[in-house]
Amino acid sequence: MSFYSKSLLVFSLLNLSFQANALTVQHTNTMFGMGGNCVAIMSLHSRQEIRQLDMNIIVQDATGKKLETHDIEVEEIGASHATDSRDEFLEGEYICQDKLSLVVTRAVGIMNDQKVDLLRDKLVELSDFKPMPIRLKTKSEAKSKP
């Protein structure tokens, strides 16, 4: 195999590995927002440029009942290190309820000057974030532990 062929093969494999997860979606936090509404923070990450990203997310209760629908529109993500991550906010009446789930029903954007259905092409990765518990050290712990 020639040097050119090997280089082309390596480039092709690297390109496929980057496309394997063009967009990572993660729910990172939920908190009270302005006006008493709850806000779910969705972190989006991409190592590839995606323009005109259009996403739809459904909020469901534990029984699967649709409570809310949210549209997220992102002009550009992943064009550089400065734009490879961004937070989007889902604000709504039901967001702070227990046992909710989020369902991504649409993720379409422009990659390499072509419109791409990221869900259909399996280019969306979901990252199930597990927050660490935070607590304050008590006085009794302070005396017994350094």
DSSP state of 113: T
pLDDT value of position 131: 76
Condensed to tens digits (0 to 9), the pLDDT of residues 61-79 reads 999 999 999 999 999 999 9
Condensed to tens digits (0 to 9), the pLDDT of residues 80-108 reads 988 999 999 999 888 988 899 999 999 99
pLDDT tier, 15 (very low <50, low <70, confident <90, very high otherwise): very low
Q: Which CATH number fits domain 21-122: 3.40.50.2300, 2.60.40.1400, 3.40.50.10440, 2.60.40.1180?
A: 2.60.40.1400
Q: pTM to 2 decimals?
A: 0.75
**Angstrom distances, CA of residue 115 to CA of 6, 53, 102:** 30, 10, 24
Q: Is 19 exposed, middle or buried (0-12, 13-18, 19+ CB in 10 A)?
A: middle
For residue 118 the two structure tokens come to 């990221």
pLDDT value of position 96: 87
Condensed to tens digits (0 to 9), the pLDDT of residues 24-40 reads 999 999 888 767 788 99
pLDDT tier, 112 (very low <50, low <70, confident <90, very high otherwise): very high
Tell me the domain boundaries of the chain. 21-122
Please, which residues have CB within 8 angstroms of residue 73's CB and are 6 or more apart in sequence?
52, 53, 54, 55
How far the first Cα of the chain sits from its last, in Å, is 62
